Structure 1
Amino acid sequence: MTDDDRDPSDFEEMLRRMMSGGQIDPEQLRDALSGMQGQSFDPAQLQGFMAQMQGMFSADPWQSAERQALHIANQDGQSIAAGAQASLADAFGLANLWLSEATTISELSTPPQAMTRGEWVAATLPVWKEIASPVSTSIADALMDALRTQVPDEMQGMVQGAGQLMRGLGGSLFAGQFGQVLGRLSLEVVSGGDVGIPVLPAGTAALIPQNISAFGEGLEIPDDQIALYLAVRELAYARLYRHAKWLHLHVLSQITDFARGVTVDIDALEDLASRLDPTDPEELRAAIEGGALLPAQTDAQREALTRLENLIATIDGWVDVVTSQAIARLPDGARLGEAARRRRAVGGPAEDALGALVGLKLRPRRLREASAMWQTVTDAVGVAARDSLWDYPDLMPSSSDIDDPSALVERLQASERGEAPAADEFDEALARLLDGDDFGQAPGGASEDRPEDDAPGEDSAPEDDAPGDDRPEGDRPV
């Protein structure tokens, strides 16, 4: 077909198909747009189509994501049996008693709860939205950039005007895929702290009884023991985030800092569009979910990811040690602890999909090293001194403490003896500032930036202006 044979109504038909839920072939989009060059069409009618499409995609795409996630989460029911509710209440009650013997961090102010999978989706969606929104924006912008490269120069003005539409389309595409991944994740998680980041409000503890049995598959451990172990672990997470009120924001800010640096590979997107089969959208879904559109991480992102992994490992390590101490009476507690560590290290299929979707893996690679550090600290200074490290952000162990906790233990032991900690470079600089000393002062008291000729000394004042000589000028010795 030549350009002269194309009918501008082809473009209108394509828009109708999109609005009616039909599949759009990217080649058809290019043909329809290029076919409009030099053709007469009704701008008012086209503008009307654009307005309708903008209305379709101007709504919050995350509402659609929530509906998709809830559809998957609620397939097996939306209620918890009364017997399961009572069993979890008993597990949480005993877990609270055991945990209070293992940590000085106080109990929660609100009672822990049993959640359905759907309730977990609804309660955690605000945090997931905050994490994923930067990636959604990148994909929407990339779709707009890809469209600009596919249309002739004469159509660039219309493409620019359709920017909001394309961004809405990209955001809806990503949010829809994210909703499916989140729904599948709800079938795997067993608690609020199961994914390693605070997805529930600070101070909230919850278990998902529908998924507890799957946690113990192959272990041959009674469900009541599994529920008790998970209750202790979840309460430890929730107590920590309630006590260290700064920690919730600290973790999420590091995650969003990483996510803001995520961009979309335009070349990969255009390559995918050029060979996409409109009758089989699975390739597009697989590309988005598998992370094929996300480029390799930058150095800055790798550094941010390392900091985040160390932070999550530090939190998980503390929870691991406190939980192990609290469940010492549980017959199969050691096996359950090892199963939980393996689960955090390996993850599940939905967690893999989530990591690929936003370019972020939330598995603490240094969990065992962090647990060993917290155990060393506990053995050296006891529970109270250990837990005091969560009182302020600057007291929290660093990555170097995970490597070698000896310096941290020495600081804590010196504090117990009432000794002032050894001053570091920052402390010394702060002390000089408080004492009124100049920062530019060199060792020994001489100013580094004062010219040598102006430095005070024996010969600094002219002889005829020697201080202390009040005689008239004529009476002074020559």
Structure 2
Amino acid sequence: MSDLPFGFSSSSGDDDGKDKNAGASGDGGPGNTGPQNPFGFGGAGFDPSAGLDPSALGQMFSQLGQMFSGMGTSMSGSGAAGPVNYQLAANLARQQIGNFTPVLEKENKAVADAVRLADVWLDDVTTFPGGVSKAVAWTPVQWLDETLPTWKGLCNPVATQLAGTWQQNLPPEAAQFAGPMMGMLTQMSGMAFGTQLGQGLGQLAKEVLTSTDVGLPLAPEGVAVLLPEAIATFADGLGLPAQEIIVFLAAREAAHVRLFTHVPWLRQRLLSTVEEYARGISIDFSGITDMTANIDPTELFSDPSKLEELISSSATFEPTTTPEQKAALDRLETLLALIEGWVENVVTQALSDRIPSTSALVETMRRRRASGGPAEQTFATLVGLELRPRKSREAAALWRSLFEATDVATRDKVWEHPDLLPDADDLDNPARFVERFIGGDSEIDSAIAELEKSLAAEAERDSAADDSADKSDESDDPDDTPGDPGR
């Protein structure tokens, strides 16, 4: 497309406007990870060079050299501490992003106009009021910098558990001898995770269209974000009016922001489900004894490559999935599908009579997800979860069925409490959920009654506490103290 409206620039132009300070260009893709393979742990082992250009690989080995020379002393920089080396992850991601087009003021205005228009149309199809306080355009590097805090919250529980499990399962002899080097082992583990994360985020930053493209609220609360450069690439070849594409994506972003703003428990629910998964991580280390049996401990000091080989080999141990973990992953998958399905439902309602290409764009987004888009790749890498397209499609069908059988208010009421949400079985049989919900199912009635009872009890306690405080103040008032007969 040679001319996008709303001030958006085409992706097919020359590179004169590229940011030359963005770092060396790198075209490497994310690491070879797949579902149930968090942080690249799996049968293929950890490959630090996968998808990296020579300068990125050199940076990793430079940090590795610092650790060996310090023999376990802490690396400089706050990003190097902790279960994941986020400093390394950010640097590798920026190198993978390469050159990028800076955001122009007209693009910021274009995003604000598109989101404002979409928000007006969304007012008619949902009871949730507008949640956007600011609409902006981001470059890929801005997306990386602004969303990294949220990625830390997602990655830390998984990485911490994996690193702790590795250390706790060292053979006693190896653990005793490695004691002085444990700090270095922790840093190497953080580097492994940081490298994997950097590869994933670097690729993701170039592909995401909005801040909620992966289903999570990655931008600050109330901020709607579109990424013009990625949108221009996405629009190329679709054969659809560019203005309609931009307003459609703005409507999806605004709908996500409404949901996350007015369902206060939703954001934390997503993060806590990842933590539930992380707490159950365990790895079968039965083979580590054989691996270390032929290693002379003194070699670990005299030949650092032996230690590197030991750490790398440990990445081939497959994490085992417990029933508790599988349940947590099912809940996370279902919740993300419900979010995506609700957004698709309200956006289709809002735009179908106004934008002719709405149906085609909805199907394009479904195919994008089905072909292994950024959301699937990211979750498969970070938490071992592959979002199944079937779930999102069925969630959209459930929300549509509920709306057709009731109204907007009833559909949106489902988000009032986590206990009211459909589960995985309901996605397989949406008609049953609709019948249960509108037919006064005892479980739903009980959940609503319990919620109302809890709110009433809390209000009563607050009222009693206020009355008690007032009486206490009155009893302490010297003017109300009975006179002393002896006065």
Q: Name the TM-score, length of structure 2 as normaliser.
A: 0.66
Q: CA deviation at 1:76?
A: 2.3
- Structure 2 unaligned segments of length 5 or more: list them: 1-60, 295-303, 454-487
Distance 1:295 1:88, change over 3 A: same
- Could you tell me which of 404, 410, 421 is aligned with 1:396? 421
Q: CA deviation at 1:339?
A: 0.7
Aligned residues: 376
Aligned to 2:129: 106
Q: CA deviation at 1:403?
A: 3.4
| Structure-1 separation of matches of 2:288 and 2:230 | 37
Q: CA deviation at 1:201?
A: 3.5
Q: Which has the larger displacement, 360-369 or 224-233?
A: 360-369
Give deviations 1:339-376, integer Å, cap 9, x for gaps: 11122233237852651343222445311221111111
Provide the secondary structure at the position in 1 that maps to 2:124.
helix
Aligned to 1:70: 94
- RMSD of equivalent CA atoms: 3.9
| Structure-2 separation of matches of 1:312 and 1:296 | 23
Identity across the alignment (%): 35
In the alignment, structure 1 residue 218 sits paired with structure 2 residue 218:
no
Aligned to 1:326: 350
Bigger RCO (CA 8 Å, 6+ sep): 2
Provide the secondary structure at the position in 1 that maps to 2:127.
coil
Equivalent residue runs for 1:184-203 within 5 Å? 184-203=203-222
| Structure-2 separation of matches of 1:145 and 1:244 | 40
Would the aligned equivalents of 2:208 and 2:374 in 1 still touch at CA under 8 Å? Answer: no
| Structure-1 separation of matches of 2:140 and 2:256 | 19
- Could you tell me which of 376, 399, 413 is aligned with 2:401? 376
Aligned to 2:110: 87
Aligned to 1:367: 392
- Could you tell me which of 66, 71, 91 is aligned with 1:50? 71
Give deviations 1:86-112, integer Å, cap 9, x for gaps: 332221121111111221210125122
Would the aligned equivalents of 2:397 and 2:430 in 1 still touch at CA under 8 Å? Answer: no
Give deviations 1:184-231, integer Å, cap 9, x for gaps: 111111111111223334433211111112323432113222111100
| Structure-1 separation of matches of 2:122 and 2:287 | 50
Would the aligned equivalents of 2:111 and 2:135 in 1 still touch at CA under 8 Å? Answer: no
Aligned to 2:227: 208
Q: Which has the larger displacement, 164-173 or 362-371?
A: 362-371
| Structure-1 separation of matches of 2:144 and 2:204 | 9
Aligned to 1:59: 81
Q: Which amino acid aligns with 2:95?
A: H
| Structure-2 separation of matches of 1:218 and 1:78 | 20
Aligned to 1:252: 271
Aligned to 1:118: 141
- Could you tell me which of 214, 232, 256 is aligned with 2:251? 232
Provide the secondary structure at the position in 2 that maps to 1:205.
strand
Distance 1:426 1:370, change over 3 A: closer
Give deviations 1:172-192, integer Å, cap 9, x for gaps: 221132122111111111111
Give deviations 1:21-40, integer Å, cap 9, x for gaps: 5599xxxx9xxxxxxxxxxx
Give deviations 1:261-290, integer Å, cap 9, x for gaps: 23445467899999xx979x99x99996xx
Give deviations 1:115-166, integer Å, cap 9, x for gaps: 11112112221221122123322443465468x55x9x4x754412322321
Distance 1:240 1:269, change over 3 A: farther
Q: Which has the larger displacement, 346-355 or 255-264?
A: 346-355
Q: Which has the larger displacement, 404-413 or 222-231?
A: 404-413
Q: Give 1 or 2 for the bigger CA radius of gyration.
A: 1
- Could you tell me which of 147, 152, 155 is aligned with 1:129? 152
Provide the secondary structure at the position in 2 that maps to 1:80.
coil
Distance 1:21 1:72, change over 3 A: same
- Structure 1 unaligned segments of length 5 or more: list them: 1-17, 30-47, 415-420, 435-478
Distance 1:142 1:401, change over 3 A: closer
